[in-house]
Structure 1
Amino acid sequence: MEDDVNLAQVCKDMLEMMGFQVTLAHDATSAMQSLNQLLHVDLLFSDIRMPGGTSGLELANRARQRLPELPVLLTTGFSEAQRREALIYPLLNKPYTYESLSRALQELL
């Protein structure tokens, strides 16, 4: 889940180059709809700071209620407070590269 359309596309391209099938969501509502409709989900990758009143952290918690074993990777380019909030999930700091994203996913999966 990423609200920046350009960054979402770059990230989608990187993930597809790594062999993943990607479903993009630009807010938590559409992300949860996708999670509820998909038969299989390997990973939730979300920005922490999102529009619409639901953060990526809240999305991750909701997703884990439905899919307790779902691997979650969060990302942020913002404050230390947001980083502390997300300590229950692995965190990839923005800006990230193909290599750092790949490494984070290898560690998680």
Structure 2
Amino acid sequence: MRILCVDDDDLVLAVTADLLRALDHEVTEAIGGSRAAELIGTDIPFDLLVTDIHMPGGPGGADLAALARSTRPDLPVIYFSGIDSTAPAGIADPVLRKPCRLGELQRAIAGLA
């Protein structure tokens, strides 16, 4: 899969992207919601958005998902949260607690199919 991976913490982003690459996915990294919004606006055909829910100073994960789904309504999304793994109101997509393990991420991706 071609995955857009977004987090406002560069270390967390690097670790998450490495996990996704270990699962043989092609990963584009974006530090923060503003950079991710730029990438969503390009012609890159992402198959999955993996994003932090809470990112100060720019669009958060739910905003990014809405932006991406405005042109691709079927785009799957997996959220990460450092706060808890309970989905905020209105979010039906999977939410994983940061940091997550490789197997947990693999199961979440498999569950999207």
Normalised-by-shorter TM-score class:
0.7 to 0.9
TM-score w.r.t. length of structure 1: 0.87
Which residues of structure 2 form unaligned runs of 5+? 1-5
Please report how far the alpha carbon of residue 88 of structure 1 lies from its aligned counterpart in structure 2 after TM superposition: 2.2
Could you tell me the percent identity over the aligned residues? 33
Contact 2:40 2:68 in 1 (8 A): yes
Contact 2:87 2:94 in 1 (8 A): no
Please report how far the alpha carbon of residue 79 of structure 1 lies from its aligned counterpart in structure 2 after TM superposition: 5.0
Q: Which residue of 2 aligns with 1:33?
A: 38
Q: Per the alignment, in what secondary structure is the counterpart of residue 101 of structure 1?
A: helix
Q: 2:50 & 2:73 partners in 1: Cα distance?
A: 15
Does 1:91 pair with 2:95? Answer: yes
TM-score w.r.t. length of structure 2: 0.84
| Between structures 1 and 2, the one with greater strand share | 2
Q: CA RMSD in A?
A: 1.8
| Between structures 1 and 2, the one with greater helix share | 1
Q: Per the alignment, in what secondary structure is the counterpart of residue 68 of structure 2?
A: helix
Superposition pairs of residues 68-87 of structure 1, within 5 angstroms:
68-78=73-83, 83-85=87-89, 87=91
Contact 2:8 2:33 in 1 (8 A): no
Superposition pairs of residues 1-109 of structure 1, within 5 angstroms:
1-78=6-83, 83-85=87-89, 87-109=91-113
